[in-house]
Amino acid sequence: MKTVPNNPILKTSVLTPRQEDSYLEKTYSTAAFLALAHDLGREFEKRASQLDQNDQFVDQNYAVLKKHSIFTALIPTQFGGLGQSHSDVANFLRILAQYCGSTALALSMHQHLVGVNVWKSHHGKGGEAVLQRVAKEQIILVSTGARDWLDSNGEVRKVKGGYIVNVYKAFASQSIVGDVFITSTPYQDPEKGPVVLHFPVPASADGVTIKDSWYTMGMRSTGSHGVVFNDVFVPESAVGLVRPQGQPHMVYNLVLTVAMPLIMAVYTGIAEAAAQKALNTAKARKQSATYLPQLIGEMNNLLVNARVLFQDMLRLCNDFNFTPSFEGAHGTLSRKVMVTKSVIGTVEKAMEIVGGQGFFRSYGMEKLFRDIQASHYHPLPEREQQQFTGCYLLKEASSI
């Protein structure tokens, strides 16, 4: 993997992804696992503000997570992982986000790709090789972002033994330390017509370059740089899925049901941190507006709504004990949008409660406000979700 020249941010990483020493071989009870999230979070919080202000990736935090084998958390113990449940890992991310949202969000992107393979293994669909490799080598899996939706993007030409891929993928969180990119591109198949190919690409492959592009309002430390694939060769044997372009496919019913609870756990945690900060500030005031209790009540209602919907997303996944369905995927997407509205509303109300104090960087609320805005952009944004689900209900569903 190459990086763009003269790039101080991309040169800050101290992590060696394939390093195998100092890893702890242990399992955790649920209580101990979630307690670890608080312990690590308190450490990560100390450097979160500086990393945010300098647009730096959370490389030191990733090194700590590796020492505790957190990248193997979802992997069953028989394959060398920690064997934590989907719901436990979601709550680990939720807690971690209360201290450092960027670390939690970047980590969720790896975990949801692992989670898809855990589901496959549980249901006799393969996935064991990926799980064993992640557990043994502590490799980091990278999703190449929302451009991998139904149409995908990029150019592909067929050559002997495989394909040559040219494409730019945006929003590839943790790309700076990733080992394998999980991506897709459209292809005009001479027999099947327009299809989308899904395949992994090693970060070390010739033609893979990280573009220094992640300068954003919030979530600045996720390292979600763009990835350039320039004449990258993909062996035909590496293509794991070929699907019709632009059409809903069963693979998304699996991925969405597993991924979105993990991702939205992060934003629920950020909203919890903002609400607690606002409540603590309000309690410490000697004088306050007469309508302060009402504001706190409004904030609490929004947070309760977010928590309930987040828990219901976990229920749909049911710790991998579910059958992928269009109904389940649309249910997950609807809940994702409603969680987004609730967590953003919670943080906005928290800002209102603390008043002008919240405008100062030193107080910390404005960072939570910036980070929570990123919840809009995960699949699917509100208008796209409403259109997508509305079309499904009109064509397929017999009832709501």
What pLDDT does residue 146 have? 67
What pLDDT does residue 147 have? 74
- Within a domain: 8: no
Work out the widest C-alpha separation in the chain, in whole angstroms.
75
Structural contact between residues 72 and 80, judged by C-beta atoms closer than 8 angstroms: yes
Looking at the structure, do residues 135 and 150 belong to the same domain, yes or no? no
Which CATH number covers residue 158? 2.40.110.10
Looking at the structure, do residues 290 and 186 belong to the same domain, yes or no? no
Going by C-beta distance under 8 Å and a sequence separation of 6 or more, which residues neighbour residue 51? 57, 58, 102, 220, 221
Looking at the structure, do residues 239 and 254 belong to the same domain, yes or no? no
Looking at the structure, do residues 332 and 367 belong to the same domain, yes or no? yes
What pLDDT does residue 4 have? 44
Domains contained in the chain, number: 3
- Within a domain: 388: yes
Going by C-beta distance under 8 Å and a sequence separation of 6 or more, which residues neighbour residue 291? none
Looking at the structure, do residues 391 and 254 belong to the same domain, yes or no? yes
Q: Which domain holds residue 153?
A: 146-244
Looking at the structure, do residues 269 and 344 belong to the same domain, yes or no? yes
Structural contact between residues 271 and 346, judged by C-beta atoms closer than 8 angstroms: yes
What pLDDT does residue 27 have? 76
- Within a domain: 7: no
CA angle 23, 26, 27 (to 5 degrees): 135
- Within a domain: 4: no
- Within a domain: 2: no
Angstrom distance (rounded) from CA 244 to CA 268 = 35
Looking at the structure, do residues 284 and 307 belong to the same domain, yes or no? yes
Tokens of 102: 């960027």
User: Which of 21, 61, 13, 56 minimizes the C-alpha distance to 177?
Assistant: 13
- Within a domain: 13: no
Q: Judge residue 363's burial from the number of C-beta atoms within 10 Å of its C-beta, 0-12 exposed, 13-18 middle, 19 or more buried.
A: middle
Looking at the structure, do residues 257 and 214 belong to the same domain, yes or no? no
Among 106, 139, 172, the domain boundary falls at 139
What pLDDT does residue 1 have? 53
- Within a domain: 3: no
Phi/psi for 25 (5° steps) reads -100, 100
Looking at the structure, do residues 162 and 220 belong to the same domain, yes or no? yes
**Which residues of the chain have a pLDDT value below 50?**
4-24
Angstrom distance (rounded) from CA 108 to CA 374 = 14
Residue with tokens 């370059």: 209
Among 139, 167, 196, the domain boundary falls at 139
Looking at the structure, do residues 222 and 261 belong to the same domain, yes or no? no
Which CATH number covers residue 330? 1.20.140.10
Among 91, 109, 139, the domain boundary falls at 139
Angstrom distance (rounded) from CA 321 to CA 72 = 20
Structural contact between residues 339 and 314, judged by C-beta atoms closer than 8 angstroms: no
Looking at the structure, do residues 349 and 367 belong to the same domain, yes or no? yes
- Within a domain: 330: yes
Looking at the structure, do residues 257 and 235 belong to the same domain, yes or no? no
